[in-house]
Chains A and B, each alone.
Chain A
């Protein structure tokens, strides 16, 4: 009772009440200002399936690089079996000249994963750049045009004269030109990349590609593909936010690579991951013959797991006996859970009625 009388004395004072109520109103309204979502109306429900098969209903949107389809500017499926043999012409000494035109740019903003936009630096508009392919002994002539805003070069791994190394001859921005010319060799799979300082910056933004030198005697006909294992550091903290085979995270998981049972598969694999010291390649339900750097025609390993350091590369050959879906991924699980994972969809297709074009390409070079 006494308490209420004191309270009455309180309430008698209109000014103090006013100030009190002002503070209370300000406090309450600020809480509403901070939590506007509670006022929003509910919308239609959507359903999605998690990676482990759980079903989740939501009234909002689904964000998932694995299941959300997105039209990518860069098509990893097209890149996979795309080889640039150049414009060929015979040289007086009877060897072949292969001419390529490579244009560097550094202003492209590309959607690298659904909703994630990243400034890629490109050779011929893509990351990785085109797969340049020649036969050992061919003369390779690359007309390099730098349309970027910074200096860039092309540095090929392989054997060539010092002035063709693309290190000390920076090619100026906004239309600088340089012609790289050398004899392709040794046979194998090599990377090429920009070699302008700061090197890390130029490489991680995407200025790299694959250079395949076929041995003169050729390799056995096969369904051939190129896989560049790369990472994307989208927030520039020297840690990769995404990993992938051929740039787009999870791409080959929701677009499985279709191959046939009993058909020889040959993968030219190049590790271009920066920041992380190693990467690896694990194949499910099978083992592969591995030719490190592809320089020897005799495989060094028969395994389902190889470890690759920076720019380490090689050739993998295998055949699937049983049809079905087989994963391939980094067994460094962090990488696979950030996108470096894919699926081979193996069809029981013994008949050779449906021949893939890449095999045709290889036939051109096979014996």
Chain B
């Protein structure tokens, strides 16, 4: 019953946990609660500035006031679209690459490093690389398109195109993590299962669907959740690649721009951290609902497959 002994020894694990728990509360729970409180105020985020309780005004403005509210809801929709494409493509690509690089191939360590390398670059470097690659006046891709008589503004073109490029870069930047998690999962599957399947006459597809896929369940779940939550909260690449442009904003970037008074040139704007906090809570609820729903179905699947 007492796993860690009796008497004072019982409290040792709790004492050991205490620093971590305290850090979590100070660094994560505290600011989250403060954000919730801020969302009901007109706080500007400036020290000494008066802070007034405004009740649900920020939420009402974000969700219902004028065309701006419809633009906000469009940003929510765009965030979901971004999440869908990033999650599905990154997941599929990561799985395929992991399976290939799990084979006994010459130079596989080199390729593993190559695919993982973008992950260790910061968003600014990632953005810079792609900005140069997509430079419309003679960049590599512009030259390739030019040989077919085509041209594009890429990141500076119509919002849909610019948005699609951010999806591409987001996948490129993070696919390495997905791949590594799948690789780790693949390496935990015993070779005996594959041998048994082959002896039973299973072809490659049957081996994958009946051995690899079910036994990869923990990696599948981890990757899906990480991809979904990461893409719902994405904003840095939007800032670095295209800036604040109509028709491209996702919720995360909208919050940043509103909360920190991002401007266009010298046009002044306002600091509205109370309003931005309300938008953050909307995003939090969205991530929570989607995250819990996905987790519920993944758990059920895991219980069914693995037991």
Partners in one complex: no
**Contact surface of A with B, Cβ cutoff 8 Å:** none
